[in-house]
Each structure stands twice: as structure tokens, then as C-alpha cells.
Amino acid sequence: MKYYTTGALTSAWIAVSALDEQGRLVLAFVARDAEGVAVDSDWDVIGQRATISGTATFTGVPVEPGLRLDYAHAYEQPQQLGARAQLYHAAIEVGIAGAALADARDYLRTKARPSTEAVRAGASTAVEDPLVRHRYGRIAAKVRAAEALLESAARTLEEITLTPADADAAARGSLAVAAAKAFGSEVAVEAGSELFQMCGTSSAAAKYDLDRHWRNARTHSVHDPLDYKYVHIAAYELGDVLPPNHGQL
């Protein structure tokens, strides 16, 4: 059984990590409509609702030998499989951050009203409020930094390729993505929250659906622990400790 099986409800095939008869990790591909496969629609969370990530249950599902891959072997050598998968997750977070910033900009320019304090200080529109400008400028800088980290990580993976020359090269790729994922996730959550601080109470009206940015970022950001990414970055830079060789980094 696996909760959070993204896209399984609409897929034709499902990739399943499992142990074979010898206890080795394999990647098995099973048909969505195969006997013994059940996918629930119990994905009921505050964000990322469109991913239809319900629980998948596999009961005695037969798998043809040709549809099984020796997944353990991939992690017995320097690899970038985990980093490339994590790059997609980082891109999702950075994309949410950019979308929240864009919506904040649009709302501030077209709908937001200046606060009473700002009016007393001479502002006639929300965008003339110096505190709004400060908050917007600060989060805009962080979003741009997150975008730059993401681009840098992608370039690093392209340079290292799918077959790293050695463990150190693999570490550089994994940690570049780790930095982009951790920082991008934090910025996405912050941008989704700061949007309301800048735009005011009216922006929280359900008709605008602006809370989707925070909900999506908050839900997706806990896909895997961010703190450990920072720990692995520090361990490598301060003590030359290679990061773990698995699919979450």
C-alpha cells in the first residue's frame, strides 16, 4: 500500500518500488487495471489537489520478468537519478513562488487599496505605500534568487550528465539541486503568505483563490525534509562528507 501515488488514478501503468524474491530493490511496472491493483480517491489535503495522489494498494499482483528493473543497482554507483527527480520538485516550488509574486503584483496594481496609515502619509494607491514596496521588493529578490538557484542546478546536472565521473561529481549535482529545492520551497511558502500581507484583507476573498499558492507550496514543500538538505550541504562543504546516495537527494 502506498499513499500519495501521484497520477495513479489516470495512468495506464504504475511504477512500483518493491523487493524481489532475493530481497533486492526492483522497479516493477504494473498495469493500472491489473488484477489486485486498487487506487483510491482519498487524496484530501489543503493543496496540490489536482495531482490526484490517492492511495494505491497492490495485492498479489503478478509482474512479468521483462517489466522489472534492478533498481538497487542504480544506487550502488554514483548517480543523478535522485537529483533529476528532485529538480522537478524544485521547479514546482519555484514556479509557485513566481506565480504568487505575479498575482500579488497584479492585485496590487489593479485592486488593492492603500492602508489608512499609508493614506495619512500621503499615499493614494497601495503601490505607493513604502511598506508594501519594501515587502514586495524583498520577496521579489528572493524569488529571483530561487529562480537563479534552480537554473544553476539544472546546468550543473547537465554538465555532470546521467553518469557522473565519480562520487564527488554526483555529490555536486545532488547538493546543487538540494539547495534549489530547499530554498525554493521556503520562498514559495513565504511568497504565498506575504501576498496577503501586501494586498490586504480583501485579497483573501474566496473568489480570488489566492490562497491556492500557499496551500500548494505548503503541501508540496513537505514532500521530503528540507532541513536534511541543508545538513548535507554543510557536511559536504565543512567536512567533505558525501551526501547519501539515494533517490531523495
- Above 90 in pLDDT, residue 221? yes
Predicted model pTM: 0.94
* Gap between the Cα atoms of 15 and 188, Å rounded: 29
Nearest alpha-carbon partner for 13 in 40, 28, 32: 32
Q: How confident is the model at residue 112 (pLDDT cuts 50, 70, 90)?
A: very high
- Above 90 in pLDDT, residue 21? no
One domain, residues 165 and 231: yes
Structural domains in the chain (count): 2
The DSSP code for 2 is B
In a domain, 12, yes or no: yes
Q: pLDDT tens across 152-192, in order?
A: 999 999 999 999 999 999 999 999 999 999 999 999 999 99
The answer for residues whose C-beta is within 8 angstroms of residue 151's C-beta and 6 or more apart is none
Q: Where are the beta strands (DSSP E) in 20-165?
A: 25-31, 37-39, 56-58, 68-70
Q: H or E segment at 203?
A: none
All three cell numbers of 223: 514532500
Q: Which of 55, 72, 89 is the last residue of a domain?
A: 72
The answer for residues whose C-beta is within 8 angstroms of residue 21's C-beta and 6 or more apart is none
Q: Which of 32, 54, 72 is the last residue of a domain?
A: 72
Q: H or E segment at 140?
A: helix 130-160
pLDDT over 90 percentage in the chain: 88
CB atoms within 10 A of CB 115: 15
One domain, residues 189 and 216: yes
One domain, residues 208 and 104: yes
The DSSP code for 43 is -
Q: Domain limits at 42?
A: 8-72
* Gap between the Cα atoms of 60 and 29, Å rounded: 14
Q: pLDDT tens across 115-132, in order?
A: 999 999 999 999 999 999
Q: pLDDT tens across 54-65, in order?
A: 999 999 999 998
Please state, in angstroms and as integers, the Cα–Cα distance from residue 242 to each residue in 85, 87, 149, 157, following that order. 19, 19, 21, 17
Give mean pLDDT, residues 102-115.
97
Q: H or E segment at 59?
A: none
In a domain, 51, yes or no: yes
- Give the pLDDT score at 126: 97
The answer for residues whose C-beta is within 8 angstroms of residue 85's C-beta and 6 or more apart is 247
One domain, residues 55 and 117: no
